[in-house]
């Protein structure tokens, strides 16, 4: 499978690095990656030449910081990567603005998959996650620090778009490589807001019609994309609160899914124009499981 031939893993010298290394090893073996690039980006402090010289004089006596960090990370990767494996790996410790550097490395190294951690302390605005989901040209796997294992239950949000079909096909390809994998296709039926119709009965009837239509739409979607119905579980739920991303995460959390695979873009152009895509909102919140954004 060519999807994940070249993988980039962003490390930050936190306890989470060991888990990211383990995830990278599993994904690279599963999808037959040829190269895994580990990178730790030292933030560019924007110092002047004189200030930089003073900084190096005070804090880089002996071995430069980048070399110290590289030696520590090299040891950690060797410990958690383990012997063998299908892919070669390398480590770099450049300096720069982390977000810009990650996008640059994607281009230079022709990366297929970026693996990055998601920390609860940085969830605030979710700007970095949303920017990565929006601007990254490769697949992105967001791994929350609350992850406890690497199970085999996959949830795929489906909105009948081309991108959600790609996400579902990727999950099913994973299932072909590992028969124990279970795939659930999950559709959230958006309902009209209360008060859209003055007649309450009309409002209820129309929303019931939308929910029923979703079942037919799902069957058509699977048929158009040549996906056998018996290859997965299909779940359709009404979204009474109008927050699709939160409904997806709630369902994943309550039902103990191990992975979420979502398309980068889907239907809902008006929502994207004003508020950003459902996927961008999804990755900017506390994720219950590693979440792969498929481009």
User: What pLDDT was estimated at residue 55?
Assistant: 57
pLDDT digits (tens, 9 = 90+) for 220-236: 999 999 998 889 999 98
To the question of pTM greater than 0.95 for the whole model, the response is: no
Residues 123, 286 contacting (CB under 8 angstroms): yes
Burial environment of residue 278 by CB neighbours within 10 A (0 to 12, 13 to 18, 19 or more): buried
CA distance 135 to 103: 8
Token digits for 268?
């809902």
pLDDT tens string 114-140: 999 987 665 444 447 777 777 888 999
Please give the domain boundaries of the chain with CATH numbers for all domains. 6-118 (3.40.50.620), 153-294 (3.40.50.620)
Q: What is the pLDDT of residue 166?
A: 93
pLDDT score for 200: 65
Inform me whether the pLDDT recorded for 10 exceeds 90: yes
CB atoms under 10 Å from CB of 99, counted, come to: 14
Q: Quick one: what percent of the chain has pLDDT higher than 90? A: 43
Name the packing angle between helices 98-108 and 127-135 (round to 10°): 20
The 10s digit of each residue's pLDDT in 164-205 is: 999 999 999 999 988 899 999 999 887 655 555 556 666 677
- pLDDT at residue 54, rounded to an integer: 60
Q: Residue 243 pLDDT more than 60? A: yes
């Amino acid at each position: 499978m060519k999807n994940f031939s070249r993988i980039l893993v962003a490390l930050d010298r936190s306890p989470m690095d060991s888990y990211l290394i383990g995830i990278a090893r599993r994904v690279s073996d599963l999808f037959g990656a040829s190269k895994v690039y580990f990178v730790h980006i030292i933030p560019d402090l924007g110092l002047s030449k004189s200030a930089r010289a003073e900084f190096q004089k005070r804090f880089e006596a002996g071995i430069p910081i980048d070399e110290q960090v590289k030696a520590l990370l090299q040891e950690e990767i060797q410990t958690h990567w383990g012997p063998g494996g299908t892919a070669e790996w390398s480590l770099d410790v450049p300096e720069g603005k982390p977000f810009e550097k990650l996008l640059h490395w994607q281009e230079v190294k022709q990366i297929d998959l970026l693996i990055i951690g998601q920390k609860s302390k940085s969830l605030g605005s979710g700007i970095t996650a949303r920017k990565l989901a929006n601007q990254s040209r490769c697949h992105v796997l967001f791994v929350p620090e609350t992850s406890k294992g690497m199970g085999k239950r996959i949830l795929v949000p489906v909105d009948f778009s081309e991108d959600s079909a790609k996400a579902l096909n990727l999950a099913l390809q994973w299932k072909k490589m590992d028969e124990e994998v279970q795939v659930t296709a999950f559709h959230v039926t958006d309902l009209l807001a209360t008060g859209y119709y003055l007649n309450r009965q009309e409002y209820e009837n129309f929303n019931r019609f939308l929910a029923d239509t979703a079942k037919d739409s799902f069957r058509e979607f699977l048929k158009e994309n040549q996906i056998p119905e018996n290859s997965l579980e299909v779940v359709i739920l009404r979204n009474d609160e109008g927050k699709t991303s939160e409904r997806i995460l709630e369902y994943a959390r309550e039902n103990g899914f191990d992975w979420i695979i979502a398309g980068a873009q889907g239907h809902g152009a008006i929502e994207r124009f004003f508020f950003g895509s459902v996927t961008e909102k999804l990755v900017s919140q506390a994720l219950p499981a590693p979440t792969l954004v498929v481009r």
